[in-house]
A and B are shown apart, each in its own frame.
Chain A
Amino acid sequence: MSAPRTEADGQASWSVPVQVVRSPGGIDAWLIEDHSVPVLALAFAFAGGAALDPPGQEGRAALLASLLTEGAGPYDTAAYASLLRERGVTLAFEADRDGLKGTLRCLVEEGAFAAEMLALALAEPRFDQAAMERARAQRLLALRREAEQPPAVASRRWWAEAFPSHPFARPVGGTEPGVSAIDRAALLSAREAQMRRGSLVVAAAGAVGADALGRFLDRAFAASLADGNAEPIPAVPEPRRFALAVVELDAPQATGVFGHIALPPEDPAWEAAQIANWILGGGGFSSRLMTEVREKRGLTYGIGTGLLPFRGRGLVLGSVATDNARFGETLAVLREEWGKIASVGPTEEEVEAGKAFLTGSFPLGFTSTAQIASTLVGLRQLERAPDWLAGRIARLAAISVEEVREASRRLFDPAALSVVVAGRPTL
């Protein structure tokens, strides 16, 4: 990746070769090796996350994630943090809806130290009483601040409406009663439930070869995790369609969250659907929604949509904010555009623009070590093949206008568009 090139052959000769590494101890990882900076980044994920929070303990995975770096083995919170910071190691965990993610970044020369500190966090987190109370207070404060924010309020309600009988209905960050109910035993069972060798996926990027990465992986993971798999998450059902829901909130501007089911990431038309989404709402200032709602009418600072992939299930989800008095107009334009792209489909020019952006911007996703590792682990969570990236540009280039129109018809359904608004909108 870092070999010298001339101006002329730059783009053509560039590629992202993914190595599949197996450590002596049997830990698998994907690796993109790149020696342009002496940095190693690791991203990993355990299947589970907030979906394993038991009813009444909403926020368990989120608290677990924050406490994994709050002291481990012989080190209390301050000692553990100082050791990492003084040697330039960053380590963080985060709970997602369906996974517990970790990221680590360090200088290559600190790799052995970083791996041992990670192993300690995985194997011997302390969950000291003081640290637990601190993390709980921080989480409660964050929840009370979220309740001040229309986008957070609208999003919570959308998931609750769309998945009434699935753990996805519950907020990743938890609820006040849920967070208040979590004790040390609950954290230990959260760890037990998901931090297992069989439910781990790992990816790495940076100035490290396969052998050195193998040693790192064994230091970090081989002896620090219990065997076996995470408790399974119930399959994600089709999101429920629902009529417009308004959450009354005293705010001058109303925020809408809207969406419905999408093709699953396993569908052969997934990438055509990505192009269709780019055209309607994913393409920033190039998208139809930004043009119609922001540029032409000045109704919002921003409107956008994205495709959310889960194993076996896709969603298309968007958001917009408009002052209360004009929110009805925003909603009318949104529904009209949603209907238009579903029935008429995109133009040839729009499809070409979408393909040109998605292929041309592909290398921009490979400019920082941490970003590369996170991209790789995301692909592993979706069970993509290791050559998925290498074939990405050719696959996108081969998609026809008709395929994108077909994907638009399958993707967008104005009758299914389910909207939550937080604020005091005039509708």
Chain B
Amino acid sequence: MTEIERRRLLAGLPAAAALAASPALAPATSARPVYGAETFRLANGLQGVVIPMRRAPVVAHMVWYRVGGADEPPGLSGMAHFLEHLMFKGTPKIGPGQFSRRIAREGGRDNAFTGHDYTAYFQQVAADRLELVMGMEADRMANILLDPKDIEPERQVILEERLQIVENNPRSRFRERLAASFYLNHPYGRPIIGWEHEIRAIPREALLEFHRRHYGPGNAILVVQGDVTTERVARLAEATYGAVPASARVDRRRPQDPPHDSERRLVLRDHRVREPSLARLYPAPHAHASVEMSDALEVLSHLLGSGPASLMWKALVDPGLAASAAASYGGDSVDPSEFALYANPRPGVAPQTLEAALDELLARLLADGVTEAEVARSLREIVAKSVFARDSLMGGARTIGAALAVDLPLEYVEFWPSRIASVTAQQVTEAARAVLRRDASLTGWLVPAEARA
């Protein structure tokens, strides 16, 4: 429990900020929790979250492990993702390839995904099948087989996956190379799927050890959304996950980046590409460092790059320099990550013309600051979207699971709209000045093989 208290302190002041919401926005931003999630914890360490939703007699059941691509030992990139695939290869109770068949036979859908900070498994089933899927998920948490004869074909599958999602797509290759260049020391620079030569080299023993170390109830978060009560989920969790031996929460200490203090460029030439793309990345703090700063950066990213009223649209798209432009930032990570800007020149526009216009916009923004009107518009747009958060079976489970898996408290998600609504123009200007520093940035161009940039 002391850990949770500490995280609350680290994560700042959600409750206070919620009450300070601007009166003009009051109807949309009263400090009610977005999902109304409830929590429990089993004696073996498993944390449980329940989001009741009674629209149809179905549930989404997710288990999140606090481990991802950034937690792999050096030289074994792709191992967290490889293990995610192998979790479907059976236990002494469930034969290889039978996990998903069994779920389908019960009218359910299942899958899994891996991030830099987490690995998550989920099923969507009729509410009366919840105990069954919890039992199956608890079984593979404790009893994975990793039969060598299943590992090798799956390694081929993953190499094909890498070809399909990275090598066959010049834009994905560009993003992969950007991250690898941007991070100076942090494993966020490694692709989640892994480098090809390292995927080929991951040994069974390392996979087993990775599972043994990270896949325990104390390192996992159970999230159930749908037609259930917290009492029922807690009872079923005790009967299934409760039987798994207790495990400790795993401390995550990754190599950190030194201060970024140079302006860098990356040019990727690809002869498959006909139209160039621009990316600009800046190191940015995360919500663990400062929720206030992280919220301000979220508003800045909206104000700069979201929709036809945004600053990048007005400066780049409207005058005909770019076909599209966007900004992206997320503060919900274990370690600090990036604030990114993207733009694609209109056919015929020279790359340097677009880049110069972007730099001019940013220089003006940093000199003059953002206006109250721009911030007010952004806040209205962001908060208006949040009312749809409950309109899907798994959206809440995904959002809450992703926050808890990076050790942010539930309140970080539940009171997000009211907190965002309290961000001021001054905070956004200060955040922009702190983060949009050219001397710490990476500028990337993807260009046709014969072009210069």
A contacts, CB < 8 Å to B: 1-2, 4-5, 7, 10-11, 14, 34, 36-39, 70, 77-78, 81-82, 85-88, 105, 107, 130, 133-134, 137-138, 140-141, 144-145, 147-150, 250-253, 255, 283-286, 291, 294-302, 321-323, 353, 356-357, 359-364, 366-371
- Least CB separation from B152: chain A residue: A298
Q: Bound state CA distance, A337 and B108, in angstroms?
A: 25
Indicate whether B147 reaches chain A with its CB closer than 8 angstroms: no
Quick one: which of B124, B160, B346 contacts A323, CB cutoff 8 A? B160
- Least CB separation from B395: chain A residue: A368
**Assuming the A-B contacts A144-B274, A285-B88, are A298 and B155 also in contact, with contact meaning beta carbons closer than 8 angstroms in the complex?**
yes
Q: Is the CB of B313 within 8 A of A321?
A: no
Q: Is the CB of B55 within 8 A of A356?
A: no
Q: Is the CB of B168 within 8 A of A353?
A: no
A189 to chain B, nearest CB (A): 25
**Assuming the A-B contacts A134-B317, A137-B347, A360-B108, are A286 and B56 also in contact, with contact meaning beta carbons closer than 8 angstroms in the complex?**
no
Q: Is the CB of A150 within 8 A of B275?
A: no
Q: Can you list, as one digit per residue, whether each of B120-140 has a CB less than 8 Å from chain A (1) or not (0)?
A: 000011111000000000000
Query: What are 23 pairs between A and B in contact, CB < 8 Å?
Result: A10-B126, A78-B314, A82-B308, A88-B384, A137-B323, A141-B344, A144-B275, A145-B275, A252-B168, A255-B168, A284-B100, A285-B88, A285-B97, A296-B153, A301-B158, A301-B161, A356-B107, A361-B108, A363-B126, A366-B55, A367-B392, A368-B391, A368-B392
A180 to chain B, nearest CB (A): 10
Indicate whether B38 reaches chain A with its CB closer than 8 angstroms: no
| Inter-chain contacts of A359 with B (CB < 8 A) | 107
Quick one: which of B55, B124, B155, B163 contacts A321, CB cutoff 8 A? B163
| Inter-chain contacts of B164 with A (CB < 8 A) | 253, 301-302, 321
| Inter-chain contacts of B393 with A (CB < 8 A) | 364, 367-368
**Assuming the A-B contacts A10-B127, A11-B128, A252-B167, are A82 and B307 also in contact, with contact meaning beta carbons closer than 8 angstroms in the complex?**
yes
Indicate whether B33 reaches chain A with its CB closer than 8 angstroms: no
| Inter-chain contacts of A88 with B (CB < 8 A) | 384-385, 387-388
Q: Bound state CA distance, A321 and B160, in angstroms?
A: 8
- Least CB separation from A349: chain B residue: B105
B89 to chain A, nearest CB (A): 9
Q: Bound state CA distance, A300 and B160, in angstroms?
A: 6
18 further contact pairs, Cβ within 8 A, besides A252-B168, A286-B104, A356-B106 = A34-B55, A36-B53, A36-B54, A78-B309, A85-B381, A85-B384, A86-B381, A105-B388, A130-B318, A147-B274, A253-B163, A300-B157, A300-B160, A321-B164, A321-B168, A353-B104, A363-B57, A367-B393
| Inter-chain contacts of A133 with B (CB < 8 A) | 320
Indicate whether B154 reaches chain A with its CB closer than 8 angstroms: yes
Interface centre among B55, B169, B314 (most CB of A within 10 A): B55
Quick one: which of B157, B227, B320, B377 contacts A301, CB cutoff 8 A? B157
Q: Is the CB of A283 within 8 A of B320?
A: no
Within 8 A of A (CB), among B44-84: 53-58
Q: Is the CB of B324 within 8 A of A367?
A: no
Q: Bound state CA distance, A284 and B111, in angstroms?
A: 10
Q: Is the CB of A357 within 8 A of B107?
A: yes
- Least CB separation from B150: chain A residue: A295
| Inter-chain contacts of B161 with A (CB < 8 A) | 301
Q: Bound state CA distance, A361 and B170, in angstroms?
A: 37
Contact residue range for chain B? Answer: 35 or more
| Inter-chain contacts of B381 with A (CB < 8 A) | 82, 85-86
B388 to chain A, nearest CB (A): 6
| Inter-chain contacts of A140 with B (CB < 8 A) | 323, 347
Q: Is the CB of A148 within 8 A of B169?
A: yes
Q: Is the CB of A10 within 8 A of B128?
A: yes
| Inter-chain contacts of B165 with A (CB < 8 A) | 301
B310 to chain A, nearest CB (A): 9
Q: Is the CB of B167 within 8 A of A86?
A: no
Indicate whether B452 reaches chain A with its CB closer than 8 angstroms: no
B380 to chain A, nearest CB (A): 4
Q: Bound state CA distance, A10 and B97, in angstroms?
A: 30
Q: Bound state CA distance, A357 and B54, in angstroms?
A: 22
Q: Is the CB of B157 within 8 A of A298?
A: yes
Quick one: which of A10, A137, A353, A357 contacts B227, CB cutoff 8 A? A10
Indicate whether B197 reaches chain A with its CB closer than 8 angstroms: no
Q: Can you list, as one digit per residue, whether each of B221-249 has a CB less than 8 Å from chain A (1) or not (0)?
A: 00000010000100000000000000000
Indicate whether B156 reaches chain A with its CB closer than 8 angstroms: yes
- Least CB separation from A8: chain B residue: B128
| Inter-chain contacts of B323 with A (CB < 8 A) | 134, 137-138, 140-141
| Inter-chain contacts of A357 with B (CB < 8 A) | 104-105, 107
Q: Is the CB of B391 within 8 A of A82?
A: no
Interface centre among A250, A253, A302 (most CB of B within 10 A): A253
| Inter-chain contacts of B157 with A (CB < 8 A) | 294, 298, 300-301
Q: Is the CB of A85 within 8 A of B307?
A: yes
Q: Bound state CA distance, A302 and B160, in angstroms?
A: 9
- Least CB separation from A250: chain B residue: B272
| Inter-chain contacts of A299 with B (CB < 8 A) | 156, 160
Indicate whether B101 reaches chain A with its CB closer than 8 angstroms: yes
| Inter-chain contacts of B57 with A (CB < 8 A) | 5, 10-11, 14, 363
| Inter-chain contacts of A253 with B (CB < 8 A) | 160, 163-164, 167-168
Indicate whether B364 reaches chain A with its CB closer than 8 angstroms: no
| Inter-chain contacts of A255 with B (CB < 8 A) | 168
Q: Bound state CA distance, A423 and B171, in angstroms?
A: 17
Interface centre among B161, B171, B318, B323 (most CB of A within 10 A): B323
Quick one: which of B104, B154, B167, B390 contacts A283, CB cutoff 8 A? B104
Q: Is the CB of A39 within 8 A of B388?
A: yes
| Inter-chain contacts of B314 with A (CB < 8 A) | 78
Q: Is the CB of A86 within 8 A of B153?
A: no
**Assuming the A-B contacts A11-B57, A298-B155, are A86 and B380 also in contact, with contact meaning beta carbons closer than 8 angstroms in the complex?**
yes
Quick one: which of A1, A4, A148 contacts B56, CB cutoff 8 A? A1
Q: Is the CB of B313 within 8 A of A285?
A: no
Q: Bound state CA distance, A105 and B153, in angstroms?
A: 44
Identify the 3 closest CB pairs spanning chains A and B, nearest first: A360-B107, A298-B156, A88-B384
Within 8 A of A (CB), among B332-378: 344, 346-347, 377
Q: Is the CB of A2 within 8 A of B54?
A: yes
**Assuming the A-B contacts A82-B307, A140-B347, are A291 and B108 also in contact, with contact meaning beta carbons closer than 8 angstroms in the complex?**
no
Q: Bound state CA distance, A4 and B227, in angstroms?
A: 10
| Inter-chain contacts of A81 with B (CB < 8 A) | 307-309
Indicate whether B109 reaches chain A with its CB closer than 8 angstroms: yes
- Least CB separation from A134: chain B residue: B317
Within 8 A of A (CB), among B158-180: 158-161, 163-165, 167-171
| Inter-chain contacts of A291 with B (CB < 8 A) | 97
Q: Bound state CA distance, A363 and B271, in angstroms?
A: 47
Indicate whether B273 reaches chain A with its CB closer than 8 angstroms: yes
Quick one: which of A70, A107, A301, A367 contacts B387, CB cutoff 8 A? A107
Q: Bound state CA distance, A150 and B165, in angstroms?
A: 11
Q: Is the CB of B387 within 8 A of A286?
A: no
Quick one: which of B124, B152, B317 contacts A364, CB cutoff 8 A? B124
Q: Bound state CA distance, A39 and B388, in angstroms?
A: 8
Q: Bound state CA distance, A360 and B104, in angstroms?
A: 9
